[in-house]
Chain A
Amino acid sequence: GQQVMQIPQYQHVQEGEDFTTYCNSSTTLSNIQWYKQRPGGHPVFLIQLVKSGEVKKQKRLTFQFGEAKKNSSLHITATQTTDVGTYFCAGRTTDSWGKLQFGAGTQVVVTP
């Protein structure tokens, strides 16, 4: 079945530094979504990528979808303490009836 792998599982970042989390799918995706879950909270939708090679930016966050639509990345520049949380990618295939397959998540800890 479809597998979505995400690395790293844990990222310790100094405030002001950049970091990237990567997502890889074993199958081609129709789209990929990214969510952020704060400690003790629930996942909150960040963005959806649909097109091959698509790049979207949200302030300090840059999201990319690979040309083959099997991988994606989230790059955060100048990390702030408000970036603390777990970032999940979630992929959907054309035959998955809307179901999202979540990656394991990257837990981000920011040191002031």
Chain B
Amino acid sequence: EPEVTQTPSHQVTQMGQEVILRCVPISNHLYFYWYRQILGQKVEFLVSFYNNEISEKSEIFDDQFSVERPDGSNFTLKIRSTKLEDSAMYFCASRVSEGGRYNEQFFGPGTRLTVL
């Protein structure tokens, strides 16, 4: 069964460093998402991406964050200058189309980011 994959599973970085989190969505999906979950807290929406552009972003997704679909398979989240509070689990998700019963999002296993 096709699934969303994410790499790395765990990333440790120093404060101020740039990190790139990678996701490979399910191949026929058109809509892509990044979420984060700080330890012990709820999952929070960061950004949605469709047709090679951001369709919606939350207030968390500030100028330090960017997303890109550099080729036909990868979807990346870049954090330019990491802060301690960026430490969280980052989940990528994808779905095939918009609306109704076809709105099921499939989540990847997550990347745990630790900022020291």
Whether A and B are associated in the same complex: the answer reads no
